[in-house]
Structure 1
Amino acid sequence: MEIKKSLFDNLQNFFGFDNFKGEQEAIITNILQKKDTFVIMPTGGGKSICYQLPALMSEGTAVVISPLIALMKNQVDQLRAFGGTDSIAHFLNSSLNKSEITKVKQDVLSGETKLLYVAPESLSKPENVDFLRLITVSFVAVDEAHCISEWGHDFRPEYRKIRQVINNLGENIPIIALTATATPKVQQDIIKNLQMNNATLFKSSFNRANLYYEVRAKKNVMKEIVRFIKGNTGKSGIVYCLSRKKVEEVSEALNLNGIRALPYHAGLDPKTRAETQDKFLMEDVEVIVATIAFGMGIDKPDVRYVIHHDIPKSMEGYYQETGRAGRDGGEGLCLAFYSEKDIDKLAKFMKDKPVSEREIGTQILKEVIDYAESAVCRRKQILHYFGENFDEAGCNNMCDNCRAQKTHFDATEKLQGTLRLIKEFGEKFDDQHILNVVMGLETQQITAYNHNKIPEFASGKEDGILLWKSVLRQALLNNYLSKDIDNYGLLKLTKSGKSFIDSPHSLKFVLNREMEATDDDQDETSQGGAGAMDEELLKMLKDLRKRIAKQKNLPPFVVFQDPSLEEMCIHYPVSLEEIKQIHGVGSGKALKFGTPFVNLISKYVEDNDIDRPVDLVVKSAANKSALKVSIIQNIDRHIALEDIAASKGLTYEDILREVESIVNSGTKLNLNYYIDEMIDEDRQDEVFDYFRGTEVDSIDMALKELGSDDYTREELQLMRIKFLSELGN
């Protein structure tokens, strides 16, 4: 009773909470009784308090092992704010300098520090082990304990050494291991490695009822992401990408489209990462774009959406990353984009790894593919992966599959036949082999076992691969089969599976989704999938362009080129901000010529009651690629175009094309330093006068009119670039 009263007093005094969540009270009591404790609790369930509160109530210092420097800083800041003193919590990692390390050690030795956060790499350093032996360690908390297991999504070899270090710190030091994601296999690994065979296990349900899960085929992915974020303006979100390069590209594209975003990955220096995190917490930026590999240790309760630009490499990773949404119990939207090209990339990453690691990685990746392609309730699939059975009625339509119309098929005979086949094969093959048999694919393994000679070979070809994948997936989800992931993912019959062979019952399964995708992060053309071009508006815009060109004594193509007008007739921009998003219209052109165009379009939209597409054309980061930026910088430094081309491994024709593209997209370039060397003033004036007087934007026509004996094609291209830059931008 005394412990209970003390627990509630401390919870109220220190954290300001009146009640514990879930099993927090039982977990904390277990730790205070010096017992080993294993906590499996989803993100947002309140794991941190499970070790923070007992640390504050125990004699000595609790050592908290955490893999994320960012999360350590976050938690230490919060504890200091609660406790009112900086010495109550410290972290010890590679981001500290010598004087900071000395200060940390002084506070710990004086007994003022109740929690010391340590990275696993720092923990095993001999000088830190010697230091920790000088103090009373109340207990060791191993956060993100799944990092111990090769079957976990974020395996860290340093985690394997934790037990050895704890043994060196003293006898009978209790351990609390905590993780937000652990399949039964990972749980076994954690218990075995930390030698916690007698630990009390506390396992909460993995169901996050407030999260909405959706997977889309990867089509027009940047447009989809921009549209999604603009539909959730004012809310915080995270976009995960597969590579650092993609993180930078996506972050840049979001900013180009008026979304405040910053990149976050391991290639950035610690100071930049810390500043980025603070800006996200303080809501100076809306969106963080991060790599999947680099877990964002961000303790922000009101992240409203998590987008996976690329499909993650494991279900644990997916669960943990989506788990950063809606930690306060509010709205949490989880959107992932799936394409087979992503899967191919992930498979390539694994090809240089040792065979055993590659096998593990392949099995883990297969689960992600099955999840993305299946039409079964997303929640049911996620929870099944973590060893939890779930009735999809409890999803409450909080996933795209439960909301979608499904195609059912009678699965009774097909399931019975599949189970019988697996039994006849002695439960020695994986799902891909079974699929190859029924679809009639003569692989090396099929012919080696003579499975191309059996009656079942090619028996399901007419039904199609989608149906057979559905059968195998749902046989697993409904526990007719289990997968031996330890052993190459071989399929095994469960008790229910064996009885179904002998006494089948009527059964309907859901047909898998067709996940056709185009992994097109390219610039979208004027026909960017947004609808047909409005021919009537195009005629009006061309008339307006002609009038403006006449007033300004310019050829019409200098005002806006045809592709830009055509794009306006698809997307109907009605403000200067929107017209800037049209290809070939930069800020300069929008300010110079944009107002009469948006006024005309706005009136046209109103008069004709046009329902404008919400997915305004997405400005692509490709327009500001590293090559283009470098060319602009070199021109500013007055470097000759031949020299710029040579340094970039381009031909002279290539460099002219790139420069032309830069000018066409609205950037002003001053090439006089170069052109004055190449073409004398009189000839420049002659070409300028020609372009000013023509309505036809054609180098071929210019060459014909001005004479190919007097001018080269390259000279006219250069002069056209100068003309467009000076008069159009």
Structure 2
Amino acid sequence: MKDALSLLNTVFGYDQFRSPQDQIIDTVINGGDALVLMPTGGGKSLCYQIPSLARSGCGIVISPLIALMQDQVSALRELGVRAAYLNSTLDPGQVMQVEEDLLRGELDLLYIAPERLNQERSLALLERAPIALFAIDEAHCVSQWGHDFRADYLQLSLLHQRFPAIPRIALTATADERTRAEIIQRLDLGEARQFIAGFDRPNIRYRIALKHNARQQLLGFLREEHPQDAGIVYCLSRKKVEDTAFWLQEQGFNALPYHAGLDSSIRADYQARFLREENIIMVATIAFGMGIDKPDVRFVAHLDMPKTVEAYYQETGRAGRDGDPANAWMVYGLQDVIKLRQMLDSSEGSETHKRAEQHRLNAMLGLCEITSCRRQSLLAYFGDDLEQPCGNCDTCLEPVDTFDGTEAAQKALSVVYRTGQRFGVNHLVDVLRGSEGEKIYQFDHHQLPTYGVGKDLDNNQWRSVFRQLVARGYLSVDLERFGALRLEEQCRPLLKGEERIDLRRDVKKKTARQTTRTSLPQDIDVALWEALRECRRELAESQGVPPYVIFHDRTLQEMCVVLPRSKTAFGRISGVGERKLDKYGDDFIAVIDRHLEQA
């Protein structure tokens, strides 16, 4: 076996591990199983890549996305690692070549899709090959309660049955306690050591606002804070994805649509452009993003509320993987809740599954409505404790204004009751505000005691009251009656005056801003920085790989500070391993030499 720290330095160009990477790697190198929960950008890949290099044989990585496999294999080959993949993009001749390389012991890592792994032909191949370990990436896909469920993951317990002596490592960035238990049970990992590295991504600023005019809100956010940045905009429907992407193009942004209904070649082309070009905005459904390894995504925006906190965390986690400031921005409204509940109600899942998903949707709505630190609430959902408010979310930076909403809530609950729990928000607000619309007189609602008692609040304020009562479980939405509101048992003490309630005072205001583009230290020469980026771009273009596969931004920044003019000095830069030193050292040193001579 090879020394893990030596591999980290010579292959990957880093001096030390982040905790608990060293413990995980040591466990797997020594033949133990591991379950790893580590936030996006926390360095999960090294936890199986280094043991694959240290142990005898080839590391087999089960990965759910073709694009992710290709991206990781390209990056590993740049480091001199003998990596390959088996998926549907290869022709029979290429498949045969990879299989022969595996059997001859000429591969360090092999990425394979779960559908292919489960085939008897693939299992028979692996039984003849020298195997170092099995790594199950995106392990939350095994959970039928999760948002990225993949049926083929359910078969992966066969790895323990067919290869009992080979260590397994399952990795994910998103799993609550219930999902973790299901991963352990379905993958037969009862004896595995568990490593939970925490879920906090302190560089991400979480911001959630009410929908007023969602497109204009998004446009203002992009123009003010991200005019030239790469990012992702998530929408619930395919039509909304396409409409939003084309509208952003009309506004001057480099935007592309992405959803499962597009031709697979178009999706692959758009994904490749997003990874390799700068300043592209991908407008997408949740079909896009799992495993996307682009480090400089400066924002993730949601134009619709996600179904679960897990989905929200997973999707927002695609921002700021490089550790620099990033924004997670979302707008939502009561209509989002109604739409998601309609989708849930029409699903083919069991009643148990629907109830569980209903609880998750309620938790997501609760996160939106919370008046305390959003990050504390988000982390608490995953069992992670943040002792102090984070100071980097909207509710910390601009504390929410609340008021005693007891009387308003009682009026709202009363009008639901007196109208027979048969009407939606718009009509209920009309009754409270004393509207003289035709529908009011059609149902004789102008004669109700609650008619006109709510003129002290405007339409939007009443909508806010109803939305918050739904979020807190005092009211529910009757989907069979097209969004009618119903009373829940929880509302009884409030209606009787036995308890009081504080509600948030929703006002239209600009949310706290943050400049999230990569900020350069003051002592860095911008001209040199741009020259190094241009060198990186040309090298990446000539090799058909994303620029960050050559070097990450932080490595370029360190070059600007250290100004290495020899191979020895260049090799000390963080992120420069032996292979990249030999391959790129002369090119970048030449750029630095030219710049210093001109200066």
**TM-score, normalization by structure 2:** 0.68
Distance change (3 Å), C-alpha of 1:348 and 1:472: closer
Q: Could you give the per-residue CA deviations for residues 585-613 of structure 1, whole angstroms, max 9, x where no partner exists? A: xxxxxxxxxxxxxxxxxxxxxxxxxxxxx
- The number of residues matched between the two structures is 440
Output the CA distance in 2 between the equivalents of 1:295 and 1:303: 11
* Number of the residue aligned with 1:198: 191
Q: Could you give the per-residue CA deviations for residues 89-148 of structure 1, whole angstroms, max 9, x where no partner exists? A: 111122222222112111111111111111111111222122112112211111111111
Letter of the 1:245 partner, please give it. K
Distance change (3 Å), C-alpha of 1:437 and 1:263: same
* Number of the residue aligned with 1:167: 161
* Number of the residue aligned with 2:233: 239
Q: CA deviation at 1:153?
A: 2.0
Q: CA deviation at 1:284?
A: 4.7
Match among 122, 127, 134 for residue 128 of structure 1? 122
Preserved CA contact (<8 Å) 2:300 2:318: yes
Distance change (3 Å), C-alpha of 1:233 and 1:471: closer
Matched, 1:303 2:273: no
Preserved CA contact (<8 Å) 1:70 1:296: no
Pairing of 1:406-445 with structure 2 (within 5 A): 406-407=400-401
* Number of the residue aligned with 1:369: 365
Which segment is superposed worse, 363-372 or 313-322?
Answer: 363-372
Matched, 1:360 2:352: no
Output the CA distance in 1 between the equivalents of 2:218 and 2:467: 28
Matched, 1:267 2:261: yes
Letter of the 1:354 partner, please give it. G
Output the CA distance in 1 between the equivalents of 2:115 and 2:414: 48
* Number of the residue aligned with 1:118: 112
* Number of the residue aligned with 2:492: none
Preserved CA contact (<8 Å) 2:403 2:504: no
Output the CA distance in 2 between the equivalents of 1:363 and 1:30: 36
Q: CA deviation at 1:172?
A: 2.1
* Number of the residue aligned with 2:141: 147
Pairing of 1:462-477 with structure 2 (within 5 A): none
Q: CA deviation at 1:264?
A: 2.2
* Number of the residue aligned with 1:697: none
* Number of the residue aligned with 2:547: none
Q: CA deviation at 1:33?
A: 0.9
* Number of the residue aligned with 1:324: 318
Output the CA distance in 2 between the equivalents of 1:253 and 1:93: 35
* Number of the residue aligned with 1:577: none
Q: CA deviation at 1:514?
A: 4.4
Matched, 1:74 2:66: no
Letter of the 1:176 partner, please give it. I
* Number of the residue aligned with 1:380: 376
Output the CA distance in 1 between the equivalents of 2:284 and 2:318: 13
Distance change (3 Å), C-alpha of 1:97 and 1:347: farther
Letter of the 1:230 partner, please give it. R
Q: Could you give the per-residue CA deviations for residues 567-599 of structure 1, whole angstroms, max 9, x where no partner exists? A: xxxxxxxxxxxxxxxxxxxxxxxxxxxxxxxxx
SS of residue in 2 equivalent to 1:303: coil
Output the CA distance in 1 between the equivalents of 2:267 and 2:473: 44
Q: CA deviation at 1:314?
A: 1.2
Pairing of 1:487-636 with structure 2 (within 5 A): 511-512=503-504, 514=506
Matched, 1:283 2:277: yes
* Number of the residue aligned with 1:216: 209
Matched, 1:106 2:103: no
Matched, 1:25 2:12: no
Match among 42, 52, 55 for residue 49 of structure 2? 52
Match among 213, 220, 244 for residue 250 of structure 1? 244
Distance change (3 Å), C-alpha of 1:256 and 1:126: same
Preserved CA contact (<8 Å) 1:260 1:287: yes
Output the CA distance in 1 between the equivalents of 2:83 and 2:89: 16
* Number of the residue aligned with 1:629: none
Q: CA deviation at 1:282?
A: 2.7
Output the CA distance in 2 between the equivalents of 1:466 and 1:283: 41
SS of residue in 2 equivalent to 1:511: strand
* Number of the residue aligned with 1:228: 221
Output the CA distance in 2 between the equivalents of 1:364 and 1:471: 13
Match among 392, 395, 405 for residue 401 of structure 1? 395
Letter of the 2:361 partner, please give it. L
Letter of the 1:387 partner, please give it. G
Letter of the 1:63 partner, please give it. I
SS of residue in 2 equivalent to 1:133: helix
Output the CA distance in 1 between the equivalents of 2:203 and 2:278: 26
Preserved CA contact (<8 Å) 1:238 1:288: yes
Output the CA distance in 2 between the equivalents of 1:159 and 1:436: 46
Which segment is superposed worse, 182-191 or 370-379?
Answer: 370-379
> Which residues of structure 2 form unaligned runs of 5+?
407-411, 423-452, 455-461, 475-487, 490-498, 509-599
Output the CA distance in 1 between the equivalents of 2:158 and 2:415: 50
Q: CA deviation at 1:55?
A: 0.6
Which segment is superposed worse, 176-185 or 159-168?
Answer: 159-168
RMSD: 3.3
* Number of the residue aligned with 1:684: none
* Number of the residue aligned with 1:716: none
* Number of the residue aligned with 1:63: 60
Q: CA deviation at 1:259?
A: 0.5
Distance change (3 Å), C-alpha of 1:205 and 1:510: farther
> Which residues of structure 1 form unaligned runs of 5+?
415-434, 445-460, 474-489, 492-506, 517-729
Preserved CA contact (<8 Å) 2:248 2:255: yes
Output the CA distance in 1 between the equivalents of 2:209 and 2:35: 36
Output the CA distance in 1 between the equivalents of 2:234 and 2:261: 15
SS of residue in 1 equivalent to 2:115: helix
SS of residue in 2 equivalent to 1:327: coil
Q: Could you give the per-residue CA deviations for residues 485-515 of structure 1, whole angstroms, max 9, x where no partner exists? A: xxxxx99xxxxxxxxxxxxxxx999634649
Preserved CA contact (<8 Å) 1:466 1:511: no
Q: CA deviation at 1:52?
A: 0.8
Preserved CA contact (<8 Å) 1:373 1:514: no
Q: CA deviation at 1:358?
A: 2.1
Output the CA distance in 2 between the equivalents of 1:49 and 1:440: 58
Preserved CA contact (<8 Å) 2:402 2:503: yes
SS of residue in 2 equivalent to 1:25: helix
Letter of the 1:369 partner, please give it. L
Output the CA distance in 1 between the equivalents of 2:212 and 2:377: 24
Distance change (3 Å), C-alpha of 1:513 and 1:115: farther
Matched, 1:390 2:383: no
* Number of the residue aligned with 1:189: 182
Letter of the 1:511 partner, please give it. L
* Number of the residue aligned with 1:345: 339
Preserved CA contact (<8 Å) 1:55 1:62: yes
Letter of the 1:244 partner, please give it. R
Letter of the 1:78 partner, please give it. A
Output the CA distance in 2 between the equivalents of 1:30 and 1:510: 50
Residue identity (%): 40
Output the CA distance in 2 between the equivalents of 1:162 and 1:15: 30
Preserved CA contact (<8 Å) 1:470 1:509: no
Which segment is superposed worse, 368-377 or 179-188?
Answer: 368-377
Structure with bigger RCO (C-alpha 8 Å, 6+ apart): 2
Preserved CA contact (<8 Å) 1:375 1:513: no
Q: CA deviation at 1:244?
A: 2.2
Preserved CA contact (<8 Å) 2:103 2:130: no
Letter of the 2:324 partner, please give it. G
Output the CA distance in 2 between the equivalents of 1:234 and 1:311: 25
SS of residue in 1 equivalent to 2:283: strand
Output the CA distance in 2 between the equivalents of 1:114 and 1:509: 60
Preserved CA contact (<8 Å) 1:470 1:511: no
Distance change (3 Å), C-alpha of 1:470 and 1:56: same
Letter of the 1:382 partner, please give it. L
Q: CA deviation at 1:196?
A: 1.1
Distance change (3 Å), C-alpha of 1:297 and 1:160: same
SS of residue in 1 equivalent to 2:178: helix
* Number of the residue aligned with 2:169: 176
